[in-house]
Chains A and B, each alone.
Chain A
């Protein structure tokens, strides 16, 4: 793959001997890709992310960052380059104020004080958190906490960002906010991997879908390529995205342009030759 940023080769990870959580995983990730990682609970998504980020070390196999194999000494560098936004923001909060929380990563990088300060400011602005800066993060609302946990990673200037089920437990407003942030990060050339159960979100957002099942990669391909395989969806216990199902019905009826595969409601309306009313 051209412009590969991160790749894993034959990675195996076992929490208990004989029960691999990841079984010979190989995957290549290109710079600036939007990847949705899907699969049922316990399929290995979170373990995969923890390996990519360098928290867990694969028992077998190698990880390459920008073509260079990540050895024991480079793990810290890997953690810096690959940021991890945890599913439950509460588990990520360690400091007593939002400001100090965001500074935790940059401080661990042993950056000079001025630089840390600048990064914290940037991250606060980016996530629109200025007015919460002195507040204790544990007492913020769910959506606000999510914003803080993303700001944590933005301050580390990671090139690849892993999101573990970011839309879980978010209200619709916060979920919208999250999608806007994802769009901004994508525009800035960040490589984004999101593990999610939300097929509609994955269909709307991702360029590529990787499906995990029992520690193995069951499928890896473009959005349509994956979601159009009925058998694959059944095997991985995934549902067909609503918009895709609607499109298929409309296409059979002959009321939508064939091959248009709309990914948003607006696109659907466009391809039907009309616009939706408010």
Chain B
């Protein structure tokens, strides 16, 4: 399969990765079910071993299956990791009027302290959340929005919602594209020469963005109507049967997690 690494920004790049993913041909429903199952297991089994294993396997799926390179994957993980670290800090740190816990620092008016227990707890929480996040990354990086919409439709989610979801998704692309073009044009005329100009340009682009993207959305709509679009979005669904080995793999995965959990309890 053809792959191009260097690529765009934000939502567009995630979509791009999804389209060129090596496991895109896996059945969409299977992917959603398996990854949700992995996420639920990671949350309810509640053990660092299980969480670590989930992070590892999902990481492998992202790197080998979805074909994301390692640096890019780390970049993608940085965003949720930043939130998690801030969140964990709140769990780890305690405040008291006198020295307490296993380690403590005086802050003149009060003491900041950390207990071993709290540290362990925060680490477990962090791992658990990373496991869940990486499972969802596998889904996002391997399944384009249209496919997600099809699967949801097959699960009898109302058509109105799935179609709306897809249209909004497409519209985000129109917005970002138009925005990028305008920003480039502004920068090429020194629109970012100092902070004041940058701010003014930002405002102007915002104002024009609405008009321009509406215009483009109109053209899009005309193009759809010209191909007999009649208010109903029929998604073309490729037939992707679930492979037996995939089902087996899901079982093996579950079994390994269960064993890990048991082993932990015995120790």
Contacts and interface: CB of A to CB of B under 8 A. Distances in A.
Interface of A: 50, 53-55, 76, 79-80, 83-84, 86, 88, 90-92, 94-97, 99-100, 103-105, 107-110, 116, 120, 134-136, 138-139, 152-153, 156
Nearest to B219: A91
B236 A107 contact: yes
B236 A95 contact: yes
Contact of A55 (B4, B15, B147, B226): B226
Residue of A76, A90, A104 most packed against chain B (CB within 10 A): A104
A91 B223 CA distance: 7
Given A108-B228, A139-B16, A100 B236 contact: yes
B227 A108 contact: yes
A79 B228 contact: yes
B229 A108 contact: yes
16 contacts: A55-B226, A76-B228, A83-B226, A84-B226, A88-B219, A90-B177, A95-B235, A96-B145, A99-B236, A100-B235, A104-B227, A107-B235, A107-B236, A108-B228, A136-B19, A156-B227
A94 B223 contact: yes
A48 to B, nearest CB: 14
Nearest to A133: B238
A88 B238 CA distance: 27
Contacts of B177: 90
A98 B24 CA distance: 15
Contacts of B145: 96
B5 interface: no
8 nearest CB pairs, A to B: A103-B236, A107-B234, A108-B228, A136-B19, A100-B236, A105-B227, A96-B144, A96-B146
B222 interface: yes
A97 B19 contact: yes
A79 B225 contact: yes
A100 B145 CA distance: 13
B216 interface: yes
Nearest to A138: B173
A88 B222 CA distance: 12
Nearest to A101: B236
Interface of B: 1-2, 4, 15-16, 19-20, 24, 144-147, 170, 173, 177, 216, 219-220, 222-230, 234-236, 238
A97 to B, nearest CB: 7
Nearest to A100: B236
B223 to A, nearest CB: 4
A88 B218 CA distance: 13
B70 to A, nearest CB: 23
B19 A135 contact: yes
Contacts of A110: 234
Nearest to B235: A100
Contacts of B226: 50, 53-55, 79, 83-84, 86
Contacts of A54: 226
Nearest to B12: A138
Contacts of A100: 146, 235-236, 238
A79 B229 CA distance: 10
A94 B220 contact: yes
A112 to B, nearest CB: 12
A136 B227 contact: no
A110 B223 CA distance: 18
Contact of A136 (B144, B216, B223, B236): B144
Given A76-B230, A95-B235, A96-B146, 12 more contacts: A54-B226, A88-B219, A94-B220, A94-B223, A94-B224, A95-B146, A96-B144, A97-B144, A104-B229, A104-B234, A109-B228, A110-B234
